[in-house]
């Protein structure tokens, strides 16, 4: 009986020690995450205005979108903008004049949101990277302007966490990481 009691005490101590170790490890990871401070680099764009284009587009319509791309120039442009890699460079900005014909609505981002947007559109280090394996649907497009001239374009897919940014020489590889996609989505929809 005494042996069983001693075994029970040893067993309880081992379990308690194991839980303490797990708790300490978890606490250490949380502290490391809290201690991570990204190193900031250069801003993507030097702008004084941002035009925000948005389209309501159901992903179930991708096949129809692709099928219709040869029907007209507008259908081709719609396909290229929503699921394609167009534009490929900053010189291909004439499409912005046709955004309403494609189905995008346009609004200007208030200047009081620029400081928060600057925290997202900046070169920075990250502590965790994630990628999604899906076809991006670019429902949200930002046109960055300086003195009325388009200097940069950012096509964003919030559901796939993917982007296409043109007009910057800054490395945009870490764009959207560390929760920045969610922050940007909230900013744009406020």
Band of the pLDDT at 21, cuts 50, 70, 90?
Answer: very low
Band of the pLDDT at 23, cuts 50, 70, 90?
Answer: very low
Q: Containing domain of residue 22, as a range?
A: 1-35
Band of the pLDDT at 111, cuts 50, 70, 90?
Answer: very high
Residues 143 and 68 reside in one and the same domain: yes
* Residues in a beta bridge with 117: none
**Nearest of 167, 168, 170 to residue 89 by alpha carbon:** 167
Residues 124 and 183 reside in one and the same domain: yes
Residues 21 and 47 reside in one and the same domain: no
Distance, in Å, from the CA atom of 50 to the CA atom of 153, rounded to the nearest integer, reads 10
141 or 18, greater pLDDT: 141
Q: Does the pLDDT at position 170 exceed 70?
A: yes
Q: Does the pLDDT at position 8 exceed 90?
A: no
Q: Taking the CA atoms of 69, 77, 105 and 174 in sequence, report the sign of the dihedral they define.
A: positive
Let me know how many helices (H) and strands (E) the chain has, helices first: 6, 7
Residues 117 and 25 reside in one and the same domain: no
Average pLDDT (83-104) is 93
Residues 74 and 109 reside in one and the same domain: yes
38 or 147, greater pLDDT: 147
**Nearest of 153, 141, 159 to residue 103 by alpha carbon:** 141
Q: Does the pLDDT at position 65 exceed 80?
A: yes
Residues 94 and 109 reside in one and the same domain: yes
Residues 76 and 19 reside in one and the same domain: no
Q: Does the pLDDT at position 114 exceed 50?
A: yes
- Residue for token pair 């692709």: 66
- Structure tokens of 59? 């992903």
Distance, in Å, from the CA atom of 55 to the CA atom of 138, rounded to the nearest integer, reads 9
Average pLDDT (89-96) is 91
Residues 155 and 70 reside in one and the same domain: yes
Average pLDDT (108-123) is 95
Q: Are 99 and 53 within 8 A, CB to CB?
A: yes
- Structure tokens of 146? 């300086």
Q: How many domains does the chain have?
A: 2
Q: Among the listed ranges 39-53, 82-96, 126-140, 144-158, which one has the minimum average pLDDT value?
A: 126-140
Residues 25 and 57 reside in one and the same domain: no
**What is the reported pLDDT for 34?**
59
Q: Does the pLDDT at position 140 exceed 50?
A: yes
Residues 105 and 174 reside in one and the same domain: yes
Average pLDDT (132-155) is 93
Residues 27 and 49 reside in one and the same domain: no
Band of the pLDDT at 25, cuts 50, 70, 90?
Answer: very low
């Amino acid at each position: 009986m005494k042996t069983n009691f001693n075994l029970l005490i040893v067993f309880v101590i081992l379990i308690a020690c194991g839980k303490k170790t797990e708790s300490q490890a978890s606490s250490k990871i949380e502290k490391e995450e809290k201690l991570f401070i990204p190193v900031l680099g250069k801003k993507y764009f030097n702008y004084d205005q941002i035009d925000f284009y948005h389209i309501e587009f159901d992903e179930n319509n991708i096949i129809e979108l692709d099928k219709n791309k040869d029907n007209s120039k507008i259908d081709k442009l719609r396909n290229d903008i929503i699921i394609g890699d167009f534009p490929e460079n900053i010189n291909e900005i004439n499409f912005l004049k046709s955004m309403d014909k494609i189905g995008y609505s346009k609004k200007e981002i208030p200047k009081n949101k620029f400081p928060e947007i600057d925290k997202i559109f900046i070169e920075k280090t990250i502590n965790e990277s994630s990628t999604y394996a899906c076809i991006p649907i670019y429902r949200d497009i930002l046109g960055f302007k300086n003195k009325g001239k388009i200097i940069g374009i950012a096509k964003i897919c919030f559901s796939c966490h993917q982007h296409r940014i043109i007009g910057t020489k800054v490395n945009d590889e870490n764009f959207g990481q560390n929760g920045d996609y969610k922050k940007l989505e909230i900013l744009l929809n406020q």
